[in-house]
Structure 1
Amino acid sequence: MARKSSSAPATDEPFDEKIVDIDVAAEMETSFLEYAYSVIYSRALPDARDGLKPVHRRILYMMADMGLRPDRAHVKSSRVVGEVMGKLHPHGDTAIYDALVRLAQDFSMRLPLVDGHGNFGSLDDGPAAPRYTEARLAPPSVAMTAGLDEDVVDFVPNYDNKLTQPSVLPSAVPNLLVNGSSGIAVGMATNMAPHNLVEVVAAAQHLIEHPEATLDDVMRFVPGPDLPSGGKIVGLDGVRDAYRTGRGSFRTRATARVENVTSRRKGIVVTELPYGVGPEKVIEKIADGVKAKKIQGVSNVQDLTDRSHGLRLVVEVKTGFDPDAVLEQLYRTTPLEDSFGINNVALVEGQPRTLGLLELLHVWVAHRIDVVRRRSSFRLAKRQERLHLVEGLLLAIVDIDEVIQVIRSSDDAPAARERLMSVFDLSDPQATYILDLQLRRLTKFSRIELEKEQSELEREIAELQEILADEARLRAVVSAEMREVASTFGTPRRTVLLDSAGGATAPAATNGRSKAPAISLEIADSPTRALLSATGLLARTSGEASDAPVERAGRRHAHDAMRGDVPTSTRGDVGLVTTAGRLLRVSVLDLPALPPVDGPPSLSGGIPVSELVALAQGESALAVVSLEDDAPTLALGTANGVVKRVTAGDVPANRDEWEVIALKDGDRVVGASPVGDEDELVFVASDASLLHFDASAVRPQGRAAAGMAGIRLGAGEQVVFFGVARAATRDLHTVVTVAGTSGALPGTGGGSAKVTPYELYPGKGRGTGGVRAHRFLKGEDGLVLAWVGEGPARAVGGAGQPVELPESTDRRDGSGQPLGAPVAAIG
């Protein structure tokens, strides 16, 4: 059986209870409306005048009240959070610190208002705890809070009615437009884009001078948002809609360019990301897209961001894929292109309103005019009060002896004050000020200072009265202060504005009913030419192959000379003949494409042969040849005078390298070129003998053959050049010989050079000694370089720089002319 609690009342009289019946629906409606109003007004939406939510305003005001100016030391963020929470903001410390952090993030704010010291986070990571970070006001915040002690804004009680806080900051900076804002209230939200301070101030100044200005007028100064992260805004129609109605959207795009990330591979280098997008998010989306096979042509993504160079994301593109097409694919499928929805909702006179650009400017301009008017009134009253005291003090100094006598003869201070007021016709404040006067102020110098102060106060009072009496003068002062703010804190525009995307960007799908047209990511298998320079650089042309040899045009270019070229296709293979008698397969896609130019291509953008194939020590590439079945035979000449023709079809299909001649010990290939039966083979030996004979005299052989005798050499002599004289252009061929000292390496000495027409040299049979092509000067004992080919000839130094050759001469066995610089190669 249950017992009564001992705490129960001992009387049987009923409790004095009062029950009130309420309507639950009405109570819920009233409570919800109060909550919604509190969120809208006190938490989520910024004031259109200073662009701040209450928490941000309280942080800046408290930091200014604590004296945390830019010229003072940083203090712990936890101290700022504690002061704000304890005195002004009745919410949790986490919310206050998060708001403080955002004010210091240069990737969130176009003009940061807090100068943070320590880890204030990134787009992908949060900040350190407030006990580890420090903060102080940034210079723009000084302009935001300037004049708070001059009655420029109204103050309201804090949450416990013990302190007061500003209802709005003076805000000399158009913060709402410059830094934007975002927030979610009850039944409404705001999302405002940042802008450039200089542009916004220019538009506001125009509005001050022309109050009836239209939206098109101010958009001449503010063409679009200016995001902290830079990047590009693609399509301005949504921006214009937002400026007109307060709602709109636009696309933001990363800043990226195609570069050679390695010697063999191109990549996409991203240096600026869309607003609010972090690099880790981009890398994750690219990795997910590659894994799901939605993104093709990407082999790797690296984040090379550092403090010295800033953001740098490198997306490596697979061989065979067009980097520009891959970039357009990334724009469509990753956050490298994002959208930003503008919803300009802010508080105007305590009410949420959706504002266009013109209305936002009007609100800020009206606020600044009101601030300057109230400040001028406050300063006028202060200066008039000071002038009144100065005038009384000057009267006292003139009759200081009588003043002292009156004071000394008075019984007490109130009596002295009354007698001073009656004797000298002073007001109560003047008499009180004279009684408080220090004796050191009675010097002659003090009187001069007072008279100077009096005239200065009269001038300032007249100026302030003029400002308050003349609306045009007041607006001029406001405009001048705006100009000063822009010149002090303004920075150049970071975001590029584009009316359209351009390129191959396709429209996104709409409700699943339409899809973007497919873009060909792979490089098309189009005709091209593989090029080899005299200094060992490989490249390919970016346009279609031409029937005219590229080497003729290449010799006229300012950088490097052409050693050979071969027509092929971008997805084909070519062969490199080396001095070791090897033929190496190279994919044309691995060769960098030279940009289209007017005139001959420059091989300065080529890739060294050693980056594509493995060469032994002392081995170098001599020629680039076709590997097609219908290609002409390949002629090779060695340093020991051996000649060989290799059949074109003798190419292993499953190998990347093979021998094309069996060399004896100590021998090496000095030249290689495709040849037909109607062409001529040319040898030039170190003793200056030149031999040419019909190519038909050399029968084609297999790869394992060692060749046959080509030229008869004297003791200690060797071949310095072997090539082919084309039948179709033989009358245009030129012979270049460069003499020097035996033992000198090519390019190490100047020597002498001679240029003569090829037609001056009579032909002889294979295996003979040829005819003399150069007479040596004193100190010269042999040829170090020679070249025979379609002229005009071109000589280059070791770095590809041009070296001038002498004019052509008809003296077949004459001496050469001294060279101005060493020659490393001729082409």
Structure 2
Amino acid sequence: MARRKGTQTKVNPAAFDQPGAHVFDNPVKTEIEDSYLEYAYSVIHSRALPDARDGLKPVHRRILFSMNENGYRPTHAYVKSSRVVGDVMGKYHPHGDTAIYDAMVRLAQDFSMNVPLVDGHGNFGSPDDGPAASRYTEAKMSPEAMLLVGELGEDTVDFRPNYDGSLEEPSVLPAAFPNLLVNGTSGIAVGMATNMIPHNLGEIIGAARWLINHPGASLDKLMEYVPGPDLPTGGLLLGLDEVRRAYETGRGVVRMRAKVETGPLEGSRGRQAITVTELPYGVGPEKIIEKITDEVNKSKRLTGIADVKDLTDRENGTRLVIECKVGVNPQALLADLYRLTPLEQSFGINNLVLVDGQPQTLGLKALLEVFLAHRYEVVTRRTKYRRRKREERLHLVEGLLKALLDIDKVIKLIRESDNAQAAKDGLMKRFKLSDIQATYILDTPLRRLTKYDRIELEAEQDRLRAEIEELSKILDDESVLKKVVSSELSKIAKDFPTERRTSLIDGDLKEVLAASKPSGPLEIADDPCQVILSATGLVARTAAESEEASEARRRNGRVKHDAVAAVVHSTARGQILLVTNQGRAFKTDVLPLPVLPEQAGTVSLRGGMAARELVPLDKGERVVGIAPLGERGAGSPGLALGTRQGVVKICSPEWPVRSDEFEVISLKDGDEVVGATWLTDGAETLTFVSSGATLLRYAASLVRPQGLKSGGMAGMNLGADTEVVFFGAVKTDDDEHGEPMVVTSTGQSVKVTPFAEYPAKGRNTGGVRTHRFLKGEQRLTVAWVGPRPAGSTDNGSPVELPETDPRRDGSGAAHPGPDVVGHLIERD
């Protein structure tokens, strides 16, 4: 028999044994189309796409159902994952064990799901690595998973035969919370794919409850409850305009960005580093490191990185440290990292789900409506089941109570009956009982027919009638049904509180990316700048600028100022010395110091950095002075130090080359450095102020410079129970900065006096009185000497000082007084 070209012959082997058998021809095109459609339908419904009601694909649903059926619940001990996989494969999911185990692993990963449905024990993988084999891991259901399967035994969903018809499995789970929106999902079918992003459980429940009571709610109102996705790995989500588009149409693209911190590298004396603490969804540290390595070594598009370290662990979470090279602007480097590595990635939202067996793309409101419709049906079927069970029990209780009213007659009838059937027929006829009631009475032991049991049965009868009435209200009144669903969702949100992990940045995606793009050159020029120590102990620097720009600033009269304790000139890539009250000095880079934010007429020192963020200070140790290093310190006689016990020292600027930490003075027990000032040319005047309100000044040339190990020499002769409260070096011929002033405070009165009113004395003398105490005043709490004085509180808030008093031994003006005093400084 000849066949037409392009056809395929379908042959039934048994047909050859039958007389008059026929062979039917089928075109190849038709056969391929039919077979492919059957395959596509099978993949869509049986593998790739989730059901919009419970948010699960068949394999996930079968895993949870099998674990529940076998008792692997949260209260059960962990069981081998291989055992779970074997049960699922043998009973419900006739596919490869690897596919089943991979699906179960995802249900256990807290970096993949906001609410894990499997409680895994062992290595269940990371964003970079796969899990251990199923024979090495253990699992059981999580408490949240019980919310999906908890009502299966109450006729809440339809069941269907398993693959071989030997068992039954649920077509959908009852799902007490919107699992699809909370955990998201992804899958590739034939000709279509789904990619749903996770959300916060509490926010989704809040939106669902609002929709229950307001079915016509707008999308904008629902977004007040669900402002955007919430990813299990945290991070940033940019451009909520695109999120709204996805919520409206079911499709959209959102941009995820890692959460980072920039600042000094720990233990490196101020080197800059970018520390990644949260990564985009689905990205692991090893992927970042691999991409950075490729960009640095192969394409060479990424420069400025000295090293990358992965310090991620279970205790501290994600911690990826990217060390910058010296002189590299971390903000500019961060912009390149966002552009060239997975630290910034897109997520394409495609809410393709199965609704009544049909693939549909749904927005946020439609997804919530499908879930709520499912819950209404589940609660309705559950309520009918519970009412039916109570009605059946009430029927038995009523029959038993009838028997108890004439228990003697019942017993006599049973004893006189020939057999059980005759006894049942007699009970039904004489006491008007149903077949079920009569059978139950015959099966009831005599010990249940006491007076006490009758009281219990009557109480049970009343309770059953009340419960039936309540259940009937749910079935008869739709508003009551909605209230039940809402209250159950509310309880879930209360029992499983979840804090938002992902930070949302509002606006159009392009505008947000443009506004948030870090700027500035990658390599920072070594231009001059000023390093400032504030009166409250903060360290900062001014923006680096060329000498020409600095001179132009002076000519234009743009004076920026704030209360500071010390200022030294340096360069952006230079180093300075931080001196502490314990006589220690630390070398540190200038580049990591924060640049002071410029405001109208002032440079706010509140943008400074605490010194302990730069150097390892001991408890109670604080920075009291700063000094330049390198060429900026050339020609200076050294660092002038004054201590609490009146010791003075000029430390020669011969700093150790290989040591970043060293002592600049040997202190006696109980002593500490109260002031450390860098001398520019040695023409300064050294000044002590004691708590006994005496001031001593003498030329710095009277103090011989000494080496690091020296303990200094006697600087001020102190009276009994007094101590030094201020030490500094003052320039008396500095016309640019103005006349030096003396500020003293007792906490009740404050006095500002010209420094010129105090005569110079010899070293290690007592000085002259600078503040006459009033009644109740016993000591100075604050003192300071320098040009343009400015007072402030401990937190940096300005305090107005009184007018100048020409009397050096006056009492001052009544004033609560500042906590610290600094001076106003020009930015030059």
For the 8 Å contact 2:251–2:349, the answer to whether it is kept is yes
One-letter identity of the residue aligned with 2:767: A
- Taking a change above 3 Å as real, the CA distance of residues 793 and 73 of structure 1, as seen in their structure-2 partners, is same
Which residue of structure 2 lines up, in the alignment, with residue 40 of structure 1?
Answer: 44
Q: State yes or no: 1:328 paired with 2:335.
A: yes
For the 8 Å contact 2:219–2:365, the answer to whether it is kept is yes
TM-score, scaled to structure 2: 0.75
Aligned runs of 1:346-425 on 2, under 5 Å? 346-425=353-432
Percent of pairs identical after alignment?
52
Which residue of structure 2 lines up, in the alignment, with residue 565 of structure 1?
Answer: 568
Q: 1: CA distance between counterparts of 2:608 and 2:284?
A: 36
Which residue of structure 2 lines up, in the alignment, with residue 773 of structure 1?
Answer: 767
Q: State yes or no: 1:101 paired with 2:99.
A: no
Which residue of structure 2 lines up, in the alignment, with residue 713 of structure 1?
Answer: none
Which residue of structure 2 lines up, in the alignment, with residue 223 of structure 1?
Answer: 227
Q: 2: CA distance between counterparts of 1:609 and 1:431?
A: 85
Which residue of structure 2 lines up, in the alignment, with residue 760 of structure 1?
Answer: 757
Q: Partner of 2:591: helix, strand, or coil? A: helix
Out of 267, 270, 273, the position equivalent to 1:264 is 270
Q: Partner of 1:220: helix, strand, or coil? A: helix
Which residue of structure 1 lines up, in the alignment, with residue 323 of structure 2?
Answer: 316
Which residue of structure 1 lines up, in the alignment, with residue 64 of structure 2?
Answer: 60
Which residue of structure 2 lines up, in the alignment, with residue 512 of structure 1?
Answer: none
Which residue of structure 2 lines up, in the alignment, with residue 540 of structure 1?
Answer: 541
Aligned runs of 1:702-741 on 2, under 5 Å? 724-728=731-735, 732-734=739-741
Which residue of structure 2 lines up, in the alignment, with residue 558 of structure 1?
Answer: none
Q: 2: CA distance between counterparts of 1:641 and 1:197?
A: 66
Which residue of structure 1 lines up, in the alignment, with residue 216 of structure 2?
Answer: 212
Out of 128, 131, 151, the position equivalent to 1:127 is 131
Aligned-pair distance for 1:54?
A: 0.6
Which residue of structure 2 lines up, in the alignment, with residue 650 of structure 1?
Answer: none
For the 8 Å contact 1:539–1:593, the answer to whether it is kept is yes
Which residue of structure 1 lines up, in the alignment, with residue 279 of structure 2?
Answer: 273
For the 8 Å contact 1:537–1:608, the answer to whether it is kept is no
One-letter identity of the residue aligned with 1:240: R
Q: State yes or no: 1:530 paired with 2:537.
A: no
Aligned-pair distance for 1:587?
A: 6.5
Q: 2: CA distance between counterparts of 1:769 and 1:180?
A: 78
Aligned runs of 1:588-737 on 2, under 5 Å? 588-589=590-591, 593=595, 601=605, 605=609, 623-624=627-628, 627=631, 634=636, 673-674=679-680, 681-682=684-685, 691=698, 724-728=731-735, 732-734=739-741
Q: 2: CA distance between counterparts of 1:770 and 1:89?
A: 94
One-letter identity of the residue aligned with 2:477: D
For the 8 Å contact 1:675–1:724, the answer to whether it is kept is no
Q: 1: CA distance between counterparts of 2:540 and 2:483?
A: 64
Q: State yes or no: 1:790 paired with 2:787.
A: yes
Q: 2: CA distance between counterparts of 1:543 and 1:18?
A: 95
Which residue of structure 1 lines up, in the alignment, with residue 198 of structure 2?
Answer: 194
Q: State yes or no: 1:287 paired with 2:293.
A: yes
One-letter identity of the residue aligned with 1:41: H
Q: 2: CA distance between counterparts of 1:207 and 1:19?
A: 60
Aligned-pair distance for 1:462?
A: 1.5
Q: Partner of 1:22: helix, strand, or coil? A: strand
Q: 2: CA distance between counterparts of 1:569 and 1:293?
A: 29
Q: 1: CA distance between counterparts of 2:446 and 2:613?
A: 94
User: Aligned Cα RMSD in Å?
Assistant: 5.1
Q: Deviations over 1:607-660 (max 9, x none)?
A: 589979xxxxxxx987438947xx9975669999999999xxxxxxxx999xxx
Q: Which ranges of structure 1 fall in alignment gaps of 5 or more residues? A: 1-13, 509-515, 556-560, 613-619, 647-654, 658-669, 699-705, 709-715, 738-753, 777-785, 816-822
Q: Partner of 1:589: helix, strand, or coil? A: coil
One-letter identity of the residue aligned with 1:466: K
Q: 1: CA distance between counterparts of 2:91 and 2:639?
A: 93
Which residue of structure 2 lines up, in the alignment, with residue 511 of structure 1?
Answer: none
Q: State yes or no: 1:436 paired with 2:443.
A: yes
- Taking a change above 3 Å as real, the CA distance of residues 400 and 530 of structure 1, as seen in their structure-2 partners, is same
Q: State yes or no: 1:154 paired with 2:158.
A: yes
Q: 2: CA distance between counterparts of 1:399 and 1:623?
A: 107
Q: Partner of 1:347: helix, strand, or coil? A: strand
Out of 489, 494, 501, the position equivalent to 1:487 is 494
Aligned-pair distance for 1:533?
A: 7.7
Q: Partner of 2:731: helix, strand, or coil? A: strand
One-letter identity of the residue aligned with 2:524: I
Aligned-pair distance for 1:199?
A: 1.8
Q: Partner of 2:26: helix, strand, or coil? A: coil
Q: Deviations over 1:255-287 (max 9, x none)?
A: 112222233122222111111111111121122
For the 8 Å contact 1:155–1:165, the answer to whether it is kept is yes
Q: Partner of 2:605: helix, strand, or coil? A: coil
One-letter identity of the residue aligned with 1:299: A
- Taking a change above 3 Å as real, the CA distance of residues 251 and 533 of structure 1, as seen in their structure-2 partners, is closer
One-letter identity of the residue aligned with 1:105: Q
- Taking a change above 3 Å as real, the CA distance of residues 575 and 214 of structure 1, as seen in their structure-2 partners, is closer
Aligned-pair distance for 1:477?
A: 1.5
Aligned-pair distance for 1:206?
A: 2.2
Q: 2: CA distance between counterparts of 1:217 and 1:824?
A: 52
Q: Which ranges of structure 2 fall in alignment gaps of 5 or more residues? A: 1-15, 617-623, 642-646, 660-675, 706-712, 717-726, 745-750, 771-782, 812-818, 824-828
Aligned-pair distance for 1:521?
A: 2.2
One-letter identity of the residue aligned with 2:274: I
Q: Deviations over 1:384-404 (max 9, x none)?
A: 111111111100011111111
- Taking a change above 3 Å as real, the CA distance of residues 264 and 386 of structure 1, as seen in their structure-2 partners, is same
For the 8 Å contact 2:86–2:97, the answer to whether it is kept is yes
One-letter identity of the residue aligned with 1:133: T
Aligned-pair distance for 1:596?
A: 5.9
One-letter identity of the residue aligned with 1:316: E
- Taking a change above 3 Å as real, the CA distance of residues 414 and 200 of structure 1, as seen in their structure-2 partners, is same
One-letter identity of the residue aligned with 1:469: D
For the 8 Å contact 1:208–1:475, the answer to whether it is kept is yes
User: Which protein has the larger Cα radius of gyration, Structure 1 or Structure 2?
Assistant: 1
Which residue of structure 2 lines up, in the alignment, with residue 177 of structure 1?
Answer: 181
Q: 2: CA distance between counterparts of 1:350 and 1:333?
A: 42
- Taking a change above 3 Å as real, the CA distance of residues 228 and 421 of structure 1, as seen in their structure-2 partners, is same
Which residue of structure 2 lines up, in the alignment, with residue 466 of structure 1?
Answer: 473
Q: Deviations over 1:535-586 (max 9, x none)?
A: 999752348777699999445xxxxx32x423x55356789999xxxx9998
Worse-matched range after superposition: 59-68 or 14-23: 14-23
For the 8 Å contact 2:563–2:790, the answer to whether it is kept is no
